Structure 1
Amino acid sequence: MQKGVNSSMAFEGSIEDFGVADVLQLVNSQAKTGVLTFHYRKEIISLGFENGMISSAFHNRKGVLKPIGDYLILTGKISREEFSKFENIAKRRGVPIVDILVENAVLTKEDLEKIIEFKIQEVVDELFTWKKGEYKFRLGDRLYSKSKYSVFVNPQFLILEGMRRIDEWPKIKKAIPDPKIVFSKKKKPDITVEIGEQEKIILNLLDGKRAVEDIVETCGLGKFRTYHALYNLLDGGIIEKSTQVIKPKRRQKRLVALSTQNIIGIISWFLAILFLLTNLALSVYKRPFYKKYVLNYKKTSVHIKNYNDKKIEEAMEAYRILTGGNGSISELEKTGWFK
């Protein structure tokens, strides 16, 4: 349900009550300028509007959508070294990197507009997968106010594309459940469908080694279009799942070179530990050899023994005087003088 709708067109609500398509249509129908932000937990998607048309998009979740820089590098439009050089220039001048790329003829204005449109479509496609979340429209705000290059995409087109892709996604995901699956071309394909331009791009990248996630990064078509093209090729009998499984790369073990001194030290430590363990084991059965040199503190002192003997003699003598008995130790024990 919408909250806070007023004449200035600032509003907020939940997509469970007022869906993504409805919110986009509302801003478009009123031809307003501002930023529409959706958030769910820590994830945020923002869409910039100019007179009801979408002019920019932003998604804060890493690993879902590649930034424009990564997209240009992965698709071979610019090298990583060149991009870093232009990125430093953009930071010094305080302008977007795309402005520098156009100025230096790395991209044409038309190329840039196509890339921005493509990235907007990617963000909106991702937004249509959300089932929960909150939204808020801020009138008059702009996402990228410094950029002098912009596009204007009709939300109605994005809504139709987004709804169509959401309907098709379950069957595509069922056929391609894992991004690490590897596809290869059939040697004798049974071509039952006409191959489109996107399918031709994907077919040229299939070498029996690249996983689906690698193709998504390098083809430049985006996640949905790549999966859709793969599904069409698979369903048309042109490609097949490869038996090869992409496994995580194992870290190579480092070989450590040991010097002679290190080896002697290791052997010495080993022998010392072995000696202690052997001596501990022998102590269970017999007294270790070195204990004959150790003073036994449990043995009764000579002085204490002499003192005890003297006390016994005195007790025996007192017994004989008092009782007239013989004063033997056994007799003293029987009569209770000794315990």
Structure 2
Amino acid sequence: MALTGSIKEFGLADILQLIYFQKKTGILEIEGPIDTIKIYFHEGNIVAARSARRPEENRIGNILIKKGILKEEELKDLLQRQVQSGTRLGSLLIQENLVEREVLVDIITHQITDQIVQMFTWKKGTYEFTPQGVPIDKNLGISLDTQHLLMEGLRIVDEWSIIEGTLTLDTVFEKVDKAVETELSEEEEEALNLVDGENDVSTIIELSGKDDFAISRTLVSLLEKGLISPIEEAEEVAEEPVKKRNLSVVMTYLIPLLVIIGFAVSFAPATVRNLPLVDRLEASNKLEFIRLSVETYRIKSGYYPKNLPVENATDPWGNRYVYLLTGNGYRLFSAGPDGKPDTGDDIF
């Protein structure tokens, strides 16, 4: 039976957490204001993502051509054979020894992350998760930890809120015929060379090999200096700016979910719970859940909570998890079996 609903009522972060914790296999289709994206899961982890607006094959091919790894003639030939054989472009590239597996995996992983981040900016949309078998590409073997990808997505969205409304990963810039009046930094010159009226921000990030936020700030600097301008299609995309309040629904559903998980663990058979290794693993996993709730609180409110935003925040030994605010962040850990902080058995 399919799981359907509105992302306004049940946020993307909560949907991904639910699929991850229940180790579901199937396809999550999310229809938003500017795109329809399908995310493929195998036992809770993400193995692929497809965008109706930006086909994977076109983006992979474009990046490989811009990097000088592939020629346009080779790409056209591969795409024709792909249609005839039904084989994915990535598999063909590896079978033909045209691209190293590590390079291709890195490109695809970056694309999946971009698509997840893009969906975090959507204010409205619908989702449908259908449990079904999902084949894994043996040549690529991509399987991304959903929880890690979720944390990374929240971090990027938080950073991008600083430049909200200026650009998105879909924005395409073109150079402006204007004399450079001020000296450009090395980063600005490199970014300017990658602006050609075709590369979107996501592609420029991939080609530069630099951090998403760093290259985006550089593009904003070039925009403010009047050296580049967004093309018309990018302006339409820019109507969907990143807003911190978009993530407010996360707190509404994520915290109860974490509490439910805590209860589920607490009702495990006593014979299993009494094993020292199991207790330490349980404490470590609970710390991850609490850490995620703390980061989500910060993204929603702009600051870290004074107290843990999770009920029943006790470790397997009956002690509360230690949470201390610091000058630029916080410390979070379990005091371990001895119940004494800052000793050798603490768990982080």
- CA separation in 2, counterparts of 1:175 and 1:46? 27
Structure 2 counterpart of 1:93, from 79, 85, 89: 85
Say yes or no: does 1:161 pair with 2:145: no
Please provide the CA RMSD for this pair.
Answer: 3.9
Give the secondary structure class of the aligned counterpart of 2:206. Answer: coil
Query: Against the structure 1 CA distance between its residues 246 and 51, is the aligned structure 2 distance closer, same or farther, given a 3 Å change threshold?
Result: closer
Tell me the amino acid that sits aligned with residue 201 of structure 2. V
- CA separation in 2, counterparts of 1:174 and 1:111? 32
Tell me the amino acid that sits aligned with residue 192 of structure 2. L
Deviation of 1:228 (Å): 2.3
- 1:241-280 aligned within 5 A: 241-242=225-226
Give the secondary structure class of the aligned counterpart of 2:10. Answer: coil
| Contact 1:74-1:218 within 8 A present in 2 as well | no
Q: Show structure 1 runs of 5+ residues with no match.
A: 5-9, 190-198, 249-339
- CA separation in 2, counterparts of 1:212 and 1:227? 19
Structure 2 counterpart of 1:204, from 183, 190, 197: 190
- 1:62-73 aligned within 5 A: 62=54, 67-73=59-65
Q: Show structure 2 runs of 5+ residues with no match.
A: 233-348
- CA separation in 2, counterparts of 1:39 and 1:244? 31
Tell me the amino acid that sits aligned with residue 95 of structure 1. T
Deviation of 1:113 (Å): 1.5
Structure 1 counterpart of 2:183, from 182, 187, 212: 187
| Contact 1:59-1:65 within 8 A present in 2 as well | no
Give the secondary structure class of the aligned counterpart of 2:37. Answer: strand
Give the secondary structure class of the aligned counterpart of 2:24. Answer: coil
Say yes or no: does 1:219 pair with 2:168: no
Tell me the percent identity: 27
Query: Against the structure 1 CA distance between its residues 241 and 148, is the aligned structure 2 distance closer, same or farther, given a 3 Å change threshold?
Result: same
- CA separation in 2, counterparts of 1:18 and 1:185? 49
| Contact 1:34-1:137 within 8 A present in 2 as well | yes
- CA separation in 1, counterparts of 2:157 and 2:123? 12
| Equivalence for 2:3 | 11
Structure 1 counterpart of 2:28, from 29, 33, 36: 36
Give the secondary structure class of the aligned counterpart of 1:99. Answer: helix
Query: Against the structure 1 CA distance between its residues 28 and 217, is the aligned structure 2 distance closer, same or farther, given a 3 Å change threshold?
Result: closer
| Contact 2:31-2:125 within 8 A present in 1 as well | yes
Query: Against the structure 1 CA distance between its residues 185 and 20, is the aligned structure 2 distance closer, same or farther, given a 3 Å change threshold?
Result: farther
Query: Against the structure 1 CA distance between its residues 147 and 185, is the aligned structure 2 distance closer, same or farther, given a 3 Å change threshold?
Result: farther
Say yes or no: does 1:139 pair with 2:125: no
Structure 2 counterpart of 1:229, from 189, 195, 214: 214
Query: Against the structure 1 CA distance between its residues 64 and 212, is the aligned structure 2 distance closer, same or farther, given a 3 Å change threshold?
Result: farther
**Number of equivalences:** 226
Query: Against the structure 1 CA distance between its residues 147 and 89, is the aligned structure 2 distance closer, same or farther, given a 3 Å change threshold?
Result: farther
